């Protein structure tokens, strides 16, 4: 299976996917750690794809999304963005709205605590 087919299948089979360096339990870069940390703290169930484990997936996801950096978050098949965008969306409440609109369970109190800590 090609990298593109693998990526497409992963995105289609999982409501939330984070293409990252490392895993959600052991991120291997600060940006991946931040996004995984937000999702973990908010209790979002997500599939993690370690791009360091497969160079074809690492380059393939950049080509697939036309986005040059890792991590990359997908919700219900749609590309959301990388670390800066996810951080901004978390702080503005847009991530809550995106998750709610797509029927993704998360801890609203945890999301509010993130915003309070960064106010």
pLDDT of residue 35: 98
Residue-wise pLDDT tens digits, 59-102: 999 999 999 999 999 999 999 999 999 999 999 999 999 999 99
Contact 79, 70 (CB under 8 A): no
Domain hosting 17: range is 3-114
Residue 84 domain-assigned (yes or no): yes
- The pLDDT assigned to 119 comes to 85
Q: Does a structural domain hold residue 119?
A: no
Q: What's the Cα-to-Cα distance from 16 to each of 58, 76, 113, 116, rounded to whole Å?
A: 18, 6, 22, 25
Paired residues of 96 in beta bridges: none
Name the band, by pLDDT with cuts 50, 70 and 90, for residue 105: very high
Residue 33: phi, psi to the nearest 5? -60, -40
Tell me the pLDDT tens digit for each residue of 17-29: 999 999 999 999 9
Give pLDDT, residue 43: 98
108 domain residue, yes or no: yes
- pLDDT tens per residue, range 30-47: 999 999 999 999 999 999
Which CATH number fits the domain that encloses residue 50?
3.40.30.10
Q: Given this model, what pLDDT does residue 1 score?
A: 83
User: Is position 94 within any domain?
Assistant: yes
Report the domain count for the chain: 1
Residues near 103 by beta carbon (within 8 Å), at least 6 away in sequence: 15
Average pLDDT rounded to a whole number, residues 11-17: 98
């Amino acid at each position: 299976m090609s990298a593109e087919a693998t990526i497409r299948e992963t995105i289609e089979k999982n409501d939330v996917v984070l293409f990252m360096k490392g895993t959600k339990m052991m991120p291997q870069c600060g940006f991946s750690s931040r996004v995984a940390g937000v999702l973990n703290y908010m209790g979002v169930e997500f599939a993690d794809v370690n791009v360091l484990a497969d160079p074809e997936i690492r380059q393939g996801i950049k080509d697939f999304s036309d986005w040059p950096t890792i991590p990359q978050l997908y919700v219900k098949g749609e590309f959301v963005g990388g670390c800066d965008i996810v951080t901004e969306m978390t702080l503005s409440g847009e991530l809550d709205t995106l998750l709610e609109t797509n029927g993704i369970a998360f801890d609203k109190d945890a999301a509010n605590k993130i915003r309070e800590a960064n106010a």
